[in-house]
Structure 1
Amino acid sequence: MADSSVPTGAELVAELNDLLALDHDAVQAYSLAIGAISTAEYRDTLAGFRGDHQRHIDQLTQLIQTAGGVPVQLPHLPTGAFKLAVQALGTLGDDRAVLLTFKANEAQVRDKYRRHAARPHGTAVSTILRAAAADEERHYEWVQGALERMGVERGGLIDTVQDAVENIHARAADALESAGRRVAEAAERMRPGGG
């Protein structure tokens, strides 16, 4: 008998679709950052990270289809637009400004994957979520290190303000996305064959 705490059916599909939309959000934000960053090395690194998000999209799409669900192929509404706007503001500045805004978006992605990877899931889902969480941890650590090389000291004024922005950004996005996930789960339950 399956552990009742392991999400299945509509709950699993809604959870995976929430992460899928998160990766769609990230691909758009990465595209803006890549287009705005002037340092070729940073551009190349961000392009590689965007590739990680595309891989997550492909893997999550497959998991959702295997679970009998319909994968969403859109960013979160309305938080995806908000995240894109935050990243767009960063493109008005130099590389440091681009990476500071990028870091705020990446923190929410990292933390969300971390939470979902820690939940109980079947083996296939757990493997993919843990690998994606490790990717997000690596992305965040890279941007933190790049900012330090640009003179943004951990615990300094810019870093402290950035941490506050990250926390506000993440809480607002998580609350809205959680509500959207509940709606998606209810819709999935009503879909023929959506369990």
Structure 2
Amino acid sequence: MVTMVGNEADIKDLVKNLLYLEHDAIAAYDSCIERLDSRELAGQISVFKEDHLQHVQVLTAMARELGIEAPTEGDMKQMLTTGKIALADLMGDAAILKAMKTNEDDTVTAYERAVRHEDAIPASKAFFMKAHQDEEKHRSWMETTAKTL
């Protein structure tokens, strides 16, 4: 999937859409943890899920500062992110991690764009940069680990 998150003209829309994306990611992580045969892999995915939960906390605080209502769940894309995991489950852990990696592609792209948003204040940009680094780490681990299975 190709995300459009990060292309918003208004910082309020950006924060709201990042929250939707994070909630979609958390749902995919839950699905992944449930479906992985390897408890070791599921444990690492759980660690990465904590990063997403932390991102939601920061984005929710940003939404509050911007005076907007923070989404508390994903949007329609959640069916796609979790659906890929369900289909990949038919082919095993490597396929699940590859499906998760494609979900991470979207979060990496979204945060790359968010860092460059013209209305982002320095504190927001710093968070977007950290979130981007987290997503890069998740994606890299998933890609590398899937190749070894």
Task: Report the TM-score range of the alignment, normalised by the length of the smaller protein.
Answer: 0.7 to 0.9
Cα deviation, 1:59-81, whole Å, max 9, x if unaligned, reads: 000011011111111212x2221
- Counterpart of 1:60 in structure 2 is 59
Instruction: Kindly report structure 1 stretches of 4+ aligned residues shifted beyond 3 Å.
Output: none
What's the counterpart of residue 114 of structure 1?
Answer: 112
Identity of aligned residues (%): 26
Distance 1:118 1:109 in 2: 15
* 1:92 aligned counterpart, secondary structure: helix
8 A Cα contact 1:117 1:130, kept in partner = yes
Letter in 2 for 1:23: E
TM-score, normalised with respect to structure 2: 0.88
1:89 to 87, 90, 104: 87
Report the residue type matching 2:17 in the other structure.
D
Q: Which residues of 2 match residues 1-195 of structure 1 at below 5 A?
A: 11-76=10-75, 78-120=76-118, 121-150=120-149
Q: CA deviation at 1:93?
A: 2.4
Residue aligned with 2:115, SS: helix
CA contact (8 A) 2:28 2:100 kept: yes
The offset of 1:119, in angstroms, is 2.7
What are the superposed Cα offsets for residues 24-55 of structure 1, whole Å, 9 maximum, x if unpaired? 00000000111111222211110011110000
- The DSSP-based 3-state class of the residue aligned with 1:74 is coil
Letter of the 1:125 counterpart: S
SS of 2:90 mapped into structure 1:
coil
Tell me the amino acid that sits aligned with residue 46 of structure 1. Answer: I
The amino acid of 2:48's aligned partner reads F
Distance 1:132 1:84 in 2: 21
Q: Which amino acid aligns with 1:79?
A: K
SS in 2 for 1:53: helix
TM-score between the two structures when normalised by the length of structure 1: 0.68
**Secondary structure at 2:10's aligned position in 1?**
helix
- The CA distance in 2 between the partners of 1:101 and 1:146, in whole Å, is 12
Q: What are structure 1's unaligned runs of at least 5 residues?
A: 1-9, 151-195
Measured in 2, the distance between the counterparts of 1:60 and 1:70 equals 11
Structure with bigger gyration radius: 1
Residue 99 of structure 1 aligns with an amino acid whose one-letter code is: L
Instruction: List alignment gaps of at least 5 residues for structure 2.
Output: 1-8
Q: Distance in 2 between matches of 1:144 and 1:93?
A: 16
